[in-house]
Amino acid sequence: MKTIFSKVIYFFIILIAFLGVINSPIALLLGFVYTLIFSNPFKEYSHKAIHYFLKISVVGLGFGMFIKETLETSKAGLSLTIYSIFLTVSLGLLLTRILKLDLKLGHLITSGTAICGGSAIAAISPVIKAKSKTISIALGIVFLLNSIALFLFPVVGHYLNLTQEQFGLWCAIAIHDTSSVVGAALGYGDEALRIATTVKLSRTLWIIPLSIFSMFLFKTKGEKIKIPYFIVLFIIAIIINSFHILPKSATNFIVLIAKRLLVTTLFLVGSTISIKDLKSTGMKPIVLAVTLWIFISIFSLIYILN
C-alpha cells in the first residue's frame, strides 16, 4: 500500500511540475524531500530520464533564441570560460594531491566543477576508466552543490543588483550542471536564461579538449571521447527560429514546454540525491568540491563585475 501511495505522489509531483504549478527551486526541493520520506521507486529510470529530458529542454530553449545574439553572447563569455576552466583544473589537480585524494575521484570532481557537472563527469569517466563507485561519489557531490546553487545564486544576484546579463554569465560559469544553471536563471529573467544557456552550452564543448588532456594525464588509450551532439540540435533550433521557419506561436509553445520539462527534470534530479552515498564519501572529496566551487564563484563574479 505504501509503495502504491509513494508512486502516486511521485507522478503527482511530476504532473504539477510539468503544468507549471511549481518553480525550479521548489521542484528540486520536493524531489529531495520525497527521497528522504519514501526513497525513489524509479531511481534507475530517473537517471535515464534526466539524461534525455535535459537535452530535450535545452534544444527546446533554442527555439527562443537568435543567431546574432547567440554569437555575441558566446564571444562575450569566451575569455572568462578559458580562464576559469584553466585555473579550476590547475587548482583541482593541486588540491587533489595536497589532500591525498584518489586521483580519479579528484579529477572527476574537478572536471564537473570546471565545465558542466554531471555531463563532464559522464564524459570523462570512461576516458580515465573510473570505477562506478568513484563516478557515483563525484556525481553525488556535484548534484548536492548544484542544489545549493539553485537557491543561493538568485538571492546573491538580487542582493548585489546584478543585471540579467551579469547573472546569466555568472550562472553559466559558476554553477556546475546545465539543469541548475538554467533553473537558477529561469526565475531571474528571460535575458538571464538566454545568456546562461548559450554560454553554458558553448562551455560544454570544452569536454572534448579536457577528455584528450585526461587521456594523456592518466595514460589511457583506445577510449572513445563523448561529443555532446545535442548541441548541434540546439544550434539547428536557433537557426530555425532566426529564419522564422516556424510560426512564432509554435516556437513560443515549444519554449514553454521546454521550460516546464526542465522544472520536471529538476524534481527528478532532487529525487536521485542520496544522503547515504554522500555520507560514505568522507570529508576530503567534499572539501575539494566546495573549495573549487567557492574559487570559481568568486573569481568569475569579480571578473564579471570589473
Block residue for cell numbers 548536492: 144
Rounded to an integer, the average pLDDT of 238-255 is 93
When pLDDT is cut at 50, 70 and 90, the band that residue 224 belongs to is low
Sole residue written with cell 533553473 = 183
* Mean predicted confidence (pLDDT) in 204-218: 84
Closest by CA position to 266, among listed 191, 204, 199, 177: 177
Confidence of residue 19 (pLDDT cuts 50, 70, 90): very high
SS3 label, residue 177? coil
Give mean pLDDT, residues 112-130.
Answer: 82
Q: Choose from 171-180, 193-202, 252-261 the range with maximum mean pLDDT.
A: 252-261
Over residues 136-186, the pLDDT tens digits come to 788 778 878 888 898 899 999 999 999 999 999 999 999 988 888 988 998
Cα–Cα distance measured from residue 118 to residue 271, given in angstroms and rounded to the nearest whole number: 15
Q: What pLDDT is stored for residue 226 in this prediction?
A: 66
What is the rounded CA–CA span in Å between residue 214 and residue 122?
13
Q: How far is CA 86 from the centre of its chain?
A: 19
Closest Cα partner for 265 from 4, 17, 6, 12? 17
Q: For residues 108 and 224, what is the distance between their CA atoms, to the nearest angstrom?
A: 17
Q: Kindly report the pTM of this predicted structure.
A: 0.80
- Residue 218, φ and ψ in degrees, nearest 5: -100, 5
- Kindly indicate the confidence band of residue 93, based on its pLDDT and cuts at 50, 70 and 90: very high
Q: Is 254 exposed, middle or buried (0-12, 13-18, 19+ CB in 10 A)?
A: buried
Strand, coil or helix: what is 186? helix
Burial class of residue 132 in the structure, from the number of CB atoms within 10 Å of its CB (0-12 exposed, 13-18 middle, 19+ buried): exposed
Q: Looking at residues 289-305, what average pLDDT do you find?
A: 95
